[in-house]
Amino acid sequence: VCCLRHATPAPRDRFASVDTHAHSPLRSMRLRTYVTYFLQLEAEMEEYGAGDLLSEAMCAGARVVVVEDCVEAPAAFVLHLLLKRALAAGGGGGGGAALLALAQPFSHYDRVLRKMGCNLSMHRKSERLHFFDLQGFPGGTQGGAIADSLAQLYSAVQRVVETCRAGENAGRFTVMIDDVSLLEVAANGSADDVLDFLHYCVTLTSEMNCSLVVLIHEDIYSSEDGVGLLAHLRYIADLVIKAAPLSTGLATDVHGQLSVVNKGMLIEQRPAKGQKVWSFHFKVKENGADFFYPGSRH
């Protein structure tokens, strides 16, 4: 299946190419059964996150993932994809996620992930998903109390992670923050407090089999005088996923390019091939996203 995937483009296109190249009805029928079989297999693999370029670049051991985006190429879809995979966590039992949402209300994520085939309401009820509605964070407190609010938030997150670990679920837990730039705004611009909070979340990853995924808007910091949150996050990250627009401008088939830098501090995080930097194009769809190497799309 892997050979087939690399040799030909995404499922839908492969199906289309079979039709156009088939010369006889019998041959096209036989080809179609093969293709359907592989399509189903690939769909199953996709559901468990084992099929596409992004998961190949990421590899299972990444602890701290920083997703960078900009206005021209928003990367919220990466968060949605990772959230879906965290909740699916194939291989029987395990997984779980905590979503610290400053950008959107729960209904938004519910709607988006439902189209991707993931029922957030159900997961929330069954306590596999812990949703923190932080649109009003920190809620009235000011000044030095920001650090306290963040400490309390951390305390809540740690409790959630501990209870999840204590249960039968021994799988990887994911803490997701959407997004850090808004967290900095909520903290009245105090990057130090936000970094302290993030540092404590990072300690969770080393102590409690947990992953941290944060989204940050890179274009906010590009013209800053001082060194902003972005530089610190790049140092903390094990994996950096950067979404950027194409240099050639807008296109219907390709929405942008994704660069994945796998810094892999610990040996189990290093991808098998040893490659550290991946660069490919993406297209955002209703039910997910396609990742492909430049030029392999019709």
Partner 1 sequence: RGLVVVAFDRSPEVYLDIMLRHGLDSNALSRCVRILDCYSDPLGWKQNIRSEQHQEDSGTPCSTNKDTITIFRSVKDVDKLSCSIIDLGRGFEGEGKTYFSVAVDSISSMLRHASVQSISGLLSNLRSHDQISSIFWLMHSDLHETKFSRAFECLSTMVACVEPEVVDSVYGEERRGDMSFLEHNYSKAKFHVRLKRRNGRVKHLYEELCVEGYDVKFISATSVSIEVNQSLLPKVQFNLELSEKERSDRANVVLPFEHQGKGEPIRIYDGRRSLPEAHQDPNLTTAALLDETEALKSANPKGEIHYLRDSDDERPDSDEDPDDDLDI
Q: Which residues bind partner 1 (CB under 8 A)?
A: 73, 151, 154-155, 158, 192, 195-196, 199-200, 203, 206-207, 226-227, 231-232, 235, 242-245, 247, 256-257, 259, 261, 263, 265-267, 275-277, 279
Output the smallest distance, CB 172 to partner 1, in A: 17
Q: Which is nearer to partner 1, 90 or 245 (CB)?
A: 245
CB of 293 to partner 1, least distance (A): 12
Compare residues 174 and 262 and give the one whose CB is closer to partner 1.
262
d(CA 136, CA 139): 5
Q: Which two tokens stand for residue 155?
A: 């305390």
Residue 39 or 151 with smaller CB distance to partner 1: 151
Minimum distance between the CB of residue 56 and partner 1, rounded to whole angstroms?
A: 15
Q: Which amino acid is at 40?
A: Q
**Beta carbon of residue 93, minimum distance to partner 1 (angstroms, whole number):** 24
Nearer to partner 1, 109 or 292 (CB): 292
Between residues 121 and 190, which has the closer beta carbon with respect to partner 1?
A: 190
Of the two residues 107 and 275, which places its CB atom closer to partner 1 in the complex? 275
- Give me the least distance between CB of 205 and partner 1, in Å please: 9
Rounded CA separation 66/239 (Å): 6
Tell me the closest approach of the beta carbon of residue 31 to partner 1, in angstroms.
Answer: 36
